[in-house]
Chain A
Amino acid sequence: MIIQAIFIVMTLCTLGGAVGVVSSRNLFHSALYLILSFFGVAGYYVLLSAGFLAVIQLMVYIGAIAILILFAIMFSRESAMNSAKESQANRQRWLGLPVAMGLFISLIAVIIPVNWPIQQTAPTTDMVRDLGVAFLTSYLIPFEVVSVLLSVALIGAVMLAREENPPVKETK
């Protein structure tokens, strides 16, 4: 009963936040809606007894990535924050529609045939420990690829943020 109520609240947070991200006129508000959506996903993790993932969702997604997005909005041109007059869709909307629909249909096609096992009891083993073992044994290559990905993100950020010609108007 209480769990169903939590589930409904979390679903409202996740979906409502997601709709808010794409429908909000103010880019800054979109980023705040994204935090709401992330929070709902963190609630799902708690309901799935994945406490470690819930904490990571809160600390990394909300605490770091959402804040980075807010930063990125503040780095951008001033009109991006108040783009009430601009259209919310760009020129590629008709290309984007079939791509988004195709992605949706293929995801549904993957999700539906899978038999999702439901356990009546809580997992007894330490999930984080299992996660660590899985990273270091059966998911070794993805684990190392993550490191490469992070390195690429770092190098990409350095490339992007290096200014050959610093703009005239700039804060310290």
Chain B
Amino acid sequence: MSGLYLPKEYLAILLFIVLGVGFGVVTLWIGQFFRMKRPYFEKLVAYESGNPPTDEPRMRFSVKFYLIAILFIVFDVEAIYLYSWALVYDKLGMFALVEMFIFIALLLVGYFYGWKKGALQWEK
């Protein structure tokens, strides 16, 4: 395992994770020795801004949300490539610019397809 190397800047993240998880676990663990445990019906009802819940929480969501989520992921992934491209495009010049325009143009085909099909419309 001598080949493993951990850069020092990640130690802060490690500390953050350990403290974050530790704080949550330890406070809940210590808390159970002090808190009272007397559940009754009103306490166990899901809190909805003071209103009694009207429906089951496990209901079917509209599939339109899925479309929005997929749209988000597609352009999220595109941003990864844009980021790595943006770091080097000044070195590679016009070539890289044309490449990225082709990349985005191919993506826009799908985008305009969705647009024309009314996927961006939120009709009820």
Contact = CB atoms under 8 A, between A and B. Distances in A.
A167 B61 CA distance: 11
Interface in A130-172: 131-133, 135-137, 140, 143-144, 146-148, 150-155, 157-158, 160-163, 167, 169-172
Given A7-B4, A171-B60, A132 B88 contact: yes
Interface in B1-38: 1-7, 10, 13-14
Contacts of B61: 71, 74-75, 171
A118 B59 CA distance: 51
A151 B117 CA distance: 14
B47 to A, nearest CB: 20
Interface string B72-113: 111011101101111111011001100100111011011101
B96 A154 contact: no
A72 to B, nearest CB: 6
Interface residues of A, number: 62
Interface size class of B (residues with CB under 8 A): 35 or more
Contacts of A2: 6
Interface of A: 2-4, 6-7, 46-47, 49, 51-52, 56, 59-60, 64-65, 67-68, 71-72, 74-78, 81, 118-122, 126, 128-129, 131-133, 135-137, 140, 143-144, 146-148, 150-155, 157-158, 160-163, 167, 169-172
Closest 7 CB pairs of A and B: A154-B110, A151-B110, A118-B3, A132-B84, A132-B88, A157-B70, A147-B106
